[in-house]
Amino acid sequence: MPERISLEERLIFALDMPSADDARAWVKRLEDRVKFYKVGFQLFLAGGFPLVDWILARNLKVFLDLKFFDVPETVRNAVAQLRGRGITFTTVHGNDRMLEAAVQEKGDVKILAVTALTSLDQTDLEDLGFQCSVEDLVLSRARRALRIGCDGLISSGLEVPKLRNELGTGFVVVSPGIRPVANVDDQKRTVDARQAFAWGADHIVVGRPIRDAENPATIVDRMFRQIQAGLDEFTSRPRSS
């Protein structure tokens, strides 16, 4: 793994909610356990940098998931706005030139390249015109992103074994689409928390399974146990020379 990461920072809670007040309430509810929070499009439009700064001021980490996709100069200027704010990760979902522009301006922010959204499966990719497997698409995009200088990748846990086997461990992998049971929502390529870490993920992003639970703290504690089990499995696995 790229660096030592505390267990409480392995789980990134997705603050996918409509208002800054809702987000603040959830942070206060979970911050004794969860130390890393994702702010996406919906919430950033509602709360902006004041909300991000509020989270950071509580000695917590922020993953600003805006999936930049625009002409390279616009991506470059947008990423430059994040420098020096204390944000840990941001995402770019674009081609090589967009990724290059983001890397040039990243400063202290780690750039994560989106490989393939976990809401897409093989049929969706074929509908979009891709003539390859999901795994091959993820690996191709990952290889290019790391060569450009991205710090890590957004990838379903299903593709993490291939990424680690082919590309090593010198980069961050963040896996969304984590589900504790059989999936019934719009995420299609999912794994559970133990599997993600056993296969080599560094962080997972979890939203609905915690938010929709009768007792969110119980789900968080269960996931931490699963995360630790997965980490133990990954570190005990023999490595090829």
Q: Tell me the catalytic residues.
A: 65, 67, 70
Determine how many CB atoms are found less than 10 A away from the CB of residue 95: 12
Binding residues: 16, 38, 118, 179, 187, 207-208
63 by DSSP, 3-state: which? strand
Question: Six-digit token pair at 185?
Answer: 């929502």
Residues 183/193, Cβ–Cβ less than 8 Å: no
Question: Six-digit token pair at 56?
Answer: 């950071």
- For residues 154 and 173, give the distance between their C-alpha atoms in angstroms, rounded to a whole number: 6
Question: Six-digit token pair at 103?
Answer: 């890397």
Binding residues for substrate: 16, 38, 118, 179, 187, 207-208
User: Whats the size of the chain, residue-wise?
Assistant: 241
Tell me the one-letter amino acid at 133. S
Residues 211/26, Cβ–Cβ less than 8 Å: yes
- The Cβ-side half-sphere exposure at 169, using a 13 Å CA radius, reads 13
Place of tokens 């996931």: 223
- For residues 52 and 126, give the distance between their C-alpha atoms in angstroms, rounded to a whole number: 37
